Structure 1
């Protein structure tokens, strides 16, 4: 029994490496010259779970320190091309009509930020990430207009076809990237992952299962007093508004920058570990009221172990109901806590069981 306990994990890791190398050898034998090369910019997937989330920076193992991220706000608001400016005018007219008729509450055209660019380099000695996020002012109606990426323009093309190159996913005009937010994987003190389902009444991803906390970057709130927004502070605001958690009740770690290439929405991925609150205590806290309760219709708890989370992600009733960036978020959070080897092994086992 002692030998089994001591050598079980090393033997499992060795067996996993042997199988992976064998699979690589078989693929090399069956490779034919002229086969389509694999892009280094592949979106995140696990077996049948295919997403449009591109992990641009971060692997989960190494955290991105607050001092490694610099945010710069550029002068001048985003300007839509003339042929798309009318789409924004349509949205504004519809909202004014809704308010006048009293059919529903008018959507507030809140001030936002568009992503002008994300520049990534490495420090000279430790080779840690050095990130510069360049933002430009915009608003919510411009975001809604720019989300119509597959709407026909007068010449018959679409914004996606005209302005985006699938082989260069990081190159896009700022007017098509009017969204930046934070997504947080929250783990309770008794090691439960918090999973939320978005409300059917939100405009983005209604009814989809998503991260524990999702918060958009607001020019009105996060740059009060003309200060440059701090992504860690945005994450803390989300923790407070969606789960009623104070900053002293958790540790917060940035893991990655991720781009939803289908919708051109950027995200900073975080993990937050509660230092004292268990799942039941958090449930009680939420029942007493949260500021943004309307954004989520339900919350579930999953044991924060690689095998349990992978089975949960790949459930037949759930595999196609995830918000695009959520599976990558949970994967990175697992890697940060349990290590890459254990997570990849659990993913491979979960996929095999589905066959």
Structure 2
């Protein structure tokens, strides 16, 4: 009896080993797949379909702006010959129920002039009719086609009242703008075209300016190194179309007293402030020999448009330093809408995208800890 039990035990052990060898891996694999599918099913049950617009405005961690980068990624510059500008003949006209707003602005400045106070000069400007982007057939390089129309500063100020009520209870924003199609807007709401420049000194310091409290638009905010609006009177010779690079060089001269031979200049992007409908050509300027100290000394001897700025900061032009500066508690809510995107594009142009994105992710992660 004991021999039979021993034989049965041996046979059972052998059969058990055989079953384990033959079926252990398939059973474990099946169990693993079952658990994985169960976890995936739970996660998928929690998930819902999401839809996101293809066009998103510039953001960096907790910093959110209304700046929409329409063309340009920072890594490649846009050559001057790739930008085509056409000026149309017909001047901008405001809708009939907004014409009174223009008249109010004229009346206010007539009163200021009569009182001996400084009025706002109704300078000739350009409005953006359309900005179209295409690619060349072989290299797929960008081509930008800008169509402009004549306008004036009072029209710009009237059109900036996007949330003022019209007689029918609507606003210019609700009547004429579609949030789902940010690139489409009537030209009378787009009477602002400017250049913004990120200037880096020869010793790698980024110039950051704070707008004066005395300027009409966006007083007291931190802004690009140079911000220059396009003037129909100054920037067009006769009937010729304006040149964006020439506008940028004028801004460098008037705001920082720097001459064209002292720097290199590259066009990085076209950007739109979707809240105010301000268009900008974003440039990067690198000073050849002028250092931070040299620039400050130069400016001490006179600047044409000194009144536009109340403070200038110099920030080490490194990804971590610039990003930390942009996210500082005393800066993050005081940026001009288009400036953070400009500085980020300049970093990408100088260092390439990967190290800039890595530095930004590390800083944002540390802020969240």
Residue 101 of structure 1 corresponds to 115
Residue 44 of structure 1 corresponds to 58
Q: Give distance in 1, aligned partners of 2:272 and 2:175.
A: 19
Residue 324 of structure 1 corresponds to 337
Residue 155 of structure 1 corresponds to 168
Aligned counterpart in structure 2 of residue 215 of structure 1, from 228, 245, 251: 228
- Structure 2 unmatched ranges of 5 or more: 1-39
Aligned counterpart in structure 2 of residue 312 of structure 1, from 310, 322, 325: 325
Equivalenced residues, count = 327
Q: Give distance in 2, aligned partners of 1:167 and 1:80.
A: 24
Matches within 5 A, 1:1-355: 32-35=47-50, 37-102=51-116, 104-355=117-368
Q: Which has the larger radius of gyration?
A: 2
Q: Give distance in 1, aligned partners of 2:250 and 2:155.
A: 24
Q: Give distance in 2, aligned partners of 1:316 and 1:93.
A: 41
Shift of residue 123, structure 1, vs aligned partner: 0.6
Shift of residue 294, structure 1, vs aligned partner: 0.4
**Aligned-CA RMSD value:** 1.2
Secondary structure in structure 2 of the residue aligned to 1:117: strand
Deviation per residue, 1:310-343 (Å, 9 max, x gap): 0000000110000000000000000000010011
Q: Give distance in 2, aligned partners of 1:30 and 1:126.
A: 45
Compute the TM-score of the two structures, normalised by the length of structure 1.
Answer: 0.91
Q: Give distance in 1, aligned partners of 2:174 and 2:269.
A: 28
Shift of residue 203, structure 1, vs aligned partner: 1.1
Secondary structure in structure 1 of the residue aligned to 2:202: coil
- Structure 1 unmatched ranges of 5 or more: 1-24
Compute the TM-score of the two structures, normalised by the length of structure 2.
Answer: 0.87
Shift of residue 126, structure 1, vs aligned partner: 1.0
Q: Give distance in 2, aligned partners of 1:327 and 1:347.
A: 13
Q: 1:74 to 1:206 in 2, by over 3 A?
A: same
Shift of residue 30, structure 1, vs aligned partner: 8.1
